[in-house]
Structure 1
Amino acid sequence: MTLLEHLRELRTRLFRASIAIVLGMIVGYLLSGHVLAILQEPYCQLAQKLELQHNNGVLPADWRCGFVALKVTDPLLLKLKISLWVGLIVSAPFWMYQLWAFIAPGLHRNERRWAYVFAGLAAPLFAGGAVLAFIVVSKGLEFLVGFVNPETQIMLEAMSYVDFVTGMMAVFGVAFEFPLGIMLANIAGIATGKRLLGWWRIAVFIFFVFAAVATPTADPFGMTFLALCMSVLYFGAVVFALVNDKRRNRNRPSYAGIGDDEVSSLDDYEVEPVEAASPIDGYDQIDAPTPVAAPTAVDKPRPLDSRYDDFT
C-alpha cells in the first residue's frame, strides 16, 4: 500500500472507532445515574458514618447523600463526563480491534504473537488497577475528612469528586501497565533479567516517588498501595525476563555472542596428546613402487601447408 492508501485506511479506522465510542456514550448516558451512584458510594458511606457520630447514632429522617453543584452546567457536564468514560469502556473491544487491524499487517508472525500476549494482559492489568483505586478511595476519603471539625457539615462538589475518583482509577490503571514495558524491553534485548534484578532497589524507590506524586490524595494509604502493587508487578516482570533469557540462551548457537572480527578464547581449550602411530602389518612385504617413465620428446609440428586432410 502507498502512503495515501495507509492514510485513507487510518481515516476509515478512526471513523469506525469514533462511531463505536459515540454509541458507547449513548449507552453510558442511559447508565450514568447508576454509575454515579456507584462512584459516590464511598462518600455516602463516610457521610452516613459522620452523621451518626454527630447525632449520637441516630440518622435523621430527612438525611440524604448528595453533592453540591456550583454551576448551572455542572449536572449536564457531569452526565456527559460519566457517559464518555462508560462509552470508552463499553466500546473498548471494537476500537481496540480497529487499532489492531491497522497495525497487524505490518508485523511479523512472531511480533503478532507477542502483541496478542500484551493485548491480553493490558486490559486485566488496567481493570485491576482501577478496582484497587476504587477501594483505596474510601480509605483516602476517611483519612482526609478526619481533619475536619466534627461540627462542620461536609458537602462535596460533584465535578471535583468525580474527577478525584476517575483520576485515581486512571493513575492506578496506567501504573499497572508498567510491567508490560519491562517485558517489551526484555524481548527486544534492551535489558536482561539479571540486570533488571540488580536494579530492584532503584525501581522500588522510583515507584514510591511516582506514587507520592501521581496519587491525588495526601494520605499514605493510596501511595503505599500503589507503590507495593507496582513493586510486585515489577518482580513478576523480572521473573518473566529471567525465564525468557534462559529460553533464548538455550536456543542460541555457541558462536552467537562472538563478533566477526573477534578471536575466540582458548582458555578452556584442552589439547589432547597425539599418540604414535602403530606400524602397519605386512608393510615390509609390499613391493616398492615402480619409477615413472621419463617423458618422451615432442615432435616438431609440420608447416601449415602440409596439414590438410581429405576434406581440405
Structure 2
Amino acid sequence: MAKKNLNEMSFLDHLEELRWLLVRSTAAILILAALTFFISDYIFNVIIFGPTSPDFITYRFFCDLSHQLGFADNICVTEMPFIIQNTNMEGQINVLIWTCITAGFILGFPFILWEVWKFISPALYETEKKNAKLFIFSSSILFFLGVLFGYYVIVPMSVNFFASFTISTVIKNQFSVDSYIGMVKTSVLACGLFFELPIIIYFLTKLGLVTPAFLRKYWKYAVIIILLVAAVVTPPDVVSQVIVTIPMMIIYEVSILISKIVVKNQNKINE
C-alpha cells in the first residue's frame, strides 16, 4: 500500500506511524543489546570499570597537566580508596541486561534518528527532506561526542571525587554495582543528549518556538545553569569546572548560531 500523504493522514494514522517507529527502534536496540552480550567482558572490565583505575587515561592527562602547570602531584590520582560490591542476589544479572540494553541504545542511535527523520519528514519542505543524510550524520556525531565527553571527562571526575570524599575516617566507601553503573550510564547518556541541543534548537526554531533573540536574552541564565551543572558533576576545583563548562558553552553558542541561520533562511523564503 502506498504511503499516505501528510494531509491525508488522520490522527490515528500518525499514532500508527509512531507505534511502528517505536517497534522498529526497540527491535534494533534489543538486537544490538544481544550482540553486545558477547563482548560484555570487555564492556565491563575495560570500558565501564576503566575509570576505577588510577592508570585511566583521564587521570594520567590531569597528572601530566598538573606537572606542566607547576602543581606537582596536586591533582594526580594515585589510588581509588573504594570497592564495588553486589548486595542483591539477582544484581549482577540485572546489571548485565540493562548495560547491554544501554549499549544497544548508544550503538543504535543513528538508526533511531533515521526512524525519527522518517516520521517528521512529511512535515518538511522538499529541500529539507534532501538533508536526511546530513541530519543523521551531524546528530550522530554530536551524540557520540557527548558520550565520549561524558565517559572521559564527567565520569572520571565524578568517580575520583566520590571515591576520595569522606566525612569521617571511620567510614569506608563501598559502592554498590548498581550505584556505580547507574552513575556511569546517567553521565554518558545525559552528555550525549545534551550535545544534541543544536539539533533540538534547529527544529524548535523551525516551529517558531524559539528565536535567536530569545536564546541570547536568556544567555546569562543558561550560563548560570551550566555553571551549576559543572559544579555538581565535577570535583570542587576551578580547573575541572572550567574543563566541563567550556564545551557546554560552545554547544549553547552553536545552538544560537544555528537558530540565526534557520531564521535567516526562513526570511529569504518568505521574501
- TM-score for the superposition, normalised by structure 1: 0.62
Residues 87-102 of structure 1: pairs in structure 2 closer than 5 A: 87-102=104-119
Secondary structure (helix, strand or coil) at the match of 1:67 reads strand
Structure 2 residue 58 is the aligned partner of structure 1 residue 50? no
| Aligned counterpart for 1:140 among listed residues 146, 158, 162 | 158
- CA deviation after TM superposition for structure 1 residue 83, in Å: 1.0
Matches of 1:103 and 1:241, distance apart in 2: 19
Deviations 1:185-238 (A, max 9, x none): 44444544355334432321232234556x4x6645765544332211122222
Task: Figure out how many residues of one structure are paired with residues of the other and give that number.
Answer: 239
Larger RCO: 1 or 2 (CA < 8 Å, sep 6+): 2
Residues 139-218 of structure 1: pairs in structure 2 closer than 5 A: 139-148=157-166, 154-194=173-213, 196-212=215-231, 215=233
Distance 1:179 1:156, change over 3 A: same
Structure 2 residue 99 is the aligned partner of structure 1 residue 82? yes
Distance 1:79 1:42, change over 3 A: same
Identity score, percent: 23
In the alignment, structure 1 segments of 5+ residues that lack a partner are 55-64, 254-312
Matches of 2:18 and 2:217, distance apart in 1: 42
Matches of 2:270 and 2:87, distance apart in 1: 66
Residues 61-140 of structure 1: pairs in structure 2 closer than 5 A: 67-113=84-130, 117-136=134-153, 137-140=155-158
Matches of 1:234 and 1:31, distance apart in 2: 36
Secondary structure (helix, strand or coil) at the match of 1:22 reads helix
Partner AA of 1:45 in structure 2: P
- TM-score for the superposition, normalised by structure 2: 0.70
**What residue number does 1:256 align with?**
none
- CA deviation after TM superposition for structure 1 residue 81, in Å: 1.3
Question: Greater share of helix residues, 1 or 2?
Answer: 2
Secondary structure (helix, strand or coil) at the match of 1:72 reads coil
| Aligned counterpart for 2:23 among listed residues 3, 8, 15 | 15
Partner AA of 1:124 in structure 2: I
In the alignment, structure 2 segments of 5+ residues that lack a partner are 57-76
- Report the aligned-residue RMSD: 3.6
Matches of 2:195 and 2:255, distance apart in 1: 12
